[in-house]
Amino acid sequence: MLKNWYEETILPHLIRCACGDPKIMELRSRLVPLAKGNVFELGVGGGLNQQFYDPQQVTSFTGIDPGGKLLEQARDAAYQKGWEADLRQAPGEAIPFSDDSFDTVVSTYTLCSVKDQAQVLSELRRILKPGGRFIYLEHGRAPDADVATWQRRIEPLWKRMAGNCHLTRPVEQAVRNAGFELEPIGASYMPKTPRWAGWMEWGTGTGKNV
């Protein structure tokens, strides 16, 4: 009972606050405008990216999130932006859209908390049209051994507090393993952030020919 109350009442506000940090929002503002055509966003809850989409470039906007409260916030953001959006409550492991449906798929600070990272990435590649663009901005396993050691120590408690958020998941290698050709743009520790929580990677990619 207490766990459900925390996840439904407190956690959505904590996630929105943490993921709305000004340093993170600045990165979003550089990446999200790259989206074009029919756009799908994984983990759309909270609606933090919507202000950065260019309505002159985006033909349609679709997204999913497993969290009902966060999804409400995303729908509010769509209303404030004044555009139609197809936003559904669903897990990333079973995206409810057909193959080759989208020109762009976007994932920001979501791959850390899904149940099956590899399956979600496979789903993103499935729904992306041939030649489409994958845009990612994620945090994950640090390249420095001492930081990675602390990530492993902290992660069990952190996952329980932060909605299954993992600290030790790889980013770039996981995306490559899913069959994307990557164009990394940046990777660094966020300033004024604990290093165990602050390793970020961002870039774009396309699906490999099969």
Q: Which domains does the chain have, with CATH numbers?
A: 2-207 (3.40.50.150)
Residue 208 pLDDT: 63
- Report the DSSP pairing between strands 199-207 and 102-108: unpaired
- Report the DSSP pairing between strands 37-42 and 58-65: parallel
Residue 83 pLDDT: 96
Residue 1 pLDDT: 59
Identify the segments of the chain with pLDDT beneath 50: 210
What is the tens place of the pLDDT at every residue in 61-115? 999 999 888 899 999 999 999 999 999 999 999 999 999 999 999 999 999 999 9
In the block, tokens 């959006």 appear at 85
Residue 210 pLDDT: 46
Q: Which of 95, 78, 67 is nearest to 11 (CA)?
A: 67
In the block, tokens 């766990």 appear at 3
